[in-house]
Amino acid sequence: MSASLFSPLRLREVELSNRVVVAPMCQYMAQDGVPQDWHLVHLGQYAQSNFGLIIAEATGVSPEGRITPGCTGLYSDAAEAAFARIISFARSVGNSMMGVQLSHAGRKASTATPWDGAGTLVDGAWQTVAPSNVPYLPGWPEPTALDATGMAQIKADFVAATRRAARAGFDLVELHAAHGYLLHEFLSPITNQRTDAYGGSLENRMRFVLEIFEAVRAEFPAERPVILRLSATDWIEGGWHVADAVILSRELAALGCDMIHVSSGGLDQRQQIVPGAGYQVAFSQAIRAEADIPTIAVGQITQAIQAETILRTGQADAIALARGALWNPRWAWHAAAELGQEVTMPAPYARCNPALRGKPFVTRKALK
């Protein structure tokens, strides 16, 4: 019996060979925004493991849009070339599609790496920006409230990064509107206290996100998908919530958004998250059903049968792993074997497949 998890998924002219996605995961190992050999190995291992889609980490559209000085960016020729090298390697070892998450960190930018405390930078700090001048935490620097000129520049930065993503060879672009970064900050009434056309009502708070999406969609090749990572709720009373996320997703679908990658939280440390296995799947299900748009479910999805059940019951169209993929980079192989599907792997690794024990060595040509 064919497993839903290992059935193809077509988005525009891009076809994923299966529905297992590597979610974007910050590595904090870039130099001046440029991916290093670390990123080649980190992302390349998933290409070897036949994940359907691999999305590179939150990548700043400008130097100031990075979370930390160690975050990747897509604002220089050197970064574009480094990403192109990674994509070329992925193409050479498997059939994974490659995506990148374009991001601006907003008021959560200019911070130290987690292993350096994750606080605000002391040396090399830069001025942060946000919809309103509300700091992320007490004692943190106050962000500059964006004016029309600043917003126009950020939109231009997203467009320029999208051009670079297309030239580098990415199959897909994901806009980051989750986890308390700039686009999420515009959406939530907790962080958006503006009184102009970009604040107040839900329609106004969605406006900048929709404008950015429309500009990116117009710039990225029409045959390749553009998707959006969304926090479905702030987990705070009076904040952004699932009903808002459904309305935004409908608007995005009308503009040509191909899929919503459904996460939650990250805006404010007052959040009251109730974690557990698949704790965000219900948000994915609601957006998929009520906004009529494909979704990716993510969050404590660890078992193959759990992922398969989510797909078969119509709660999502694809499954993303983050920490689970770090812990087990061969998750896609193991899930395929567990669900009785053919395990696809590069020829040099074929002899490790338990199904091939005792059989003659299979040629590379036969496996492709």
Q: Which residues pair with 191 in a beta bridge?
A: none
- In this structure, are residues 350 and 367 in contact, taking their beta carbons and an 8 Å threshold? yes
What residues contact residue 105 under an 8 Å CB cut-off, 6+ apart?
A: 58, 60, 65, 66, 67, 71, 128, 181, 182
Catalytic residue numbers, as ranges: 181
- In this structure, are residues 103 and 60 in contact, taking their beta carbons and an 8 Å threshold? yes
The tokens of 227 are what? 């998707």
Q: What is the CA radius of gyration of the chain?
A: 20
What are the two backbone dihedrals, phi and then psi, of residue 46, each rounded to the nearest 5 degrees? Answer: -75, -30
| Cα first-last separation, the chain | 23
| Helix ranges, the chain (H) | 37-48, 77-93, 148-168, 182-187, 202-219, 242-254, 281-291, 304-312, 323-327, 331-338, 364-367
* CA–CA distance, 229 with 267 (Å, rounded to integer): 14
What is the amino acid identity at position 69? P
- In this structure, are residues 242 and 232 in contact, taking their beta carbons and an 8 Å threshold? yes
The tokens of 262 are what? 């459904």
List the one residue out of 294, 281, 300 whose CA is nearest residue 242: 281
The tokens of 185 are what? 């900050």
Q: Is 203 helix (H, G, I), strand (E, B) or coil?
A: helix
The tokens of 20 are what? 């297992």
Residue with tokens 């299979």: 362
* CA–CA distance, 50 with 219 (Å, rounded to integer): 29
* CA–CA distance, 344 with 368 (Å, rounded to integer): 9
